[in-house]
């Protein structure tokens, strides 16, 4: 698998979140619907205006806080990096400092990124010499046609050495 290691200081994102269940793969069905909803309702336009960069990189952030049932539920954020206050209807999330394994995903969404996730956990972690650190997992989506066979995005996993 193609990946790179980066270290990133803590940073803040602003966005919207929902709780999703892992049971019977519900998250794999419901998260793409959540993305469709925020594109349709104008949330993505609001996020683009908040972005810290010239080209917006939207993020899907998977986070299991202590108050949710571990391995059963997670918060999923659709967010953008932003160093200010959250506008009405949105929330702030602080992403801690971590070493990240960053994996490139190429192909039409959601299939390509779901396959990348599967490969990370079924293959890469078994042979990499790294283990998952206790922190959020991030999908980073750049510009382009997300239904195209050559669409590129990334999966960021917080890691520590075994």
User: Distance (Å, rounded) from C-alpha 147 to C-alpha 109?
Assistant: 6
pLDDT in tens, 145-158: 999 999 999 999 99
Q: Which fold has domain 3-161?
A: Multidrug-efflux Transporter 1 Regulator Bmrr; Chain A (3.20.80)
User: Distance (Å, rounded) from C-alpha 58 to C-alpha 80?
Assistant: 5
Q: Which two tokens stand for residue 76?
A: 């999923």
What's the mean pLDDT when you consider all of the chain?
A: 92
- 54 pLDDT exceeds 60? no
**Predicted local distance difference test score (pLDDT) of residue 1:** 83
User: Distance (Å, rounded) from C-alpha 20 to C-alpha 51?
Assistant: 25
User: Distance (Å, rounded) from C-alpha 108 to C-alpha 28?
Assistant: 15
> Could you report how far apart the first and last alpha carbons of the chain are, in Å?
19
Helix, strand, or coil (residue 39):
helix
């Amino acid at each position: 698998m193609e990946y790179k290691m980066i270290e990133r200081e803590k940073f803040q994102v602003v966005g919207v979140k929902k709780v999703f269940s892992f049971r019977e793969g519900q998250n794999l069905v419901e998260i793409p619907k959540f993305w469709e909803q925020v594109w349709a309702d104008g949330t993505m336009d609001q996020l683009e205006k908040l972005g810290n960069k010239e080209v917006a990189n939207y993020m899907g952030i998977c986070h299991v806080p202590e108050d949710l049932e571990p391995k059963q539920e997670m918060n999923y954020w659709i967010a953008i990096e932003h160093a200010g206050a959250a506008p009405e209807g949105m929330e702030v999330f602080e992403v801690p400092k971590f070493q990240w394994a960053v994996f490139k995903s190429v192909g039409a969404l959601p299939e390509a990124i779901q396959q990348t996730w599967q490969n990370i956990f079924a293959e890469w972690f078994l042979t990499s010499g790294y283990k998952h650190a206790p922190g959020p997992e991030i999908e980073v989506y750049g510009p382009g046609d997300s239904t195209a066979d050559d669409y590129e995005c990334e999966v960021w996993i917080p890691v520590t050495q075994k």
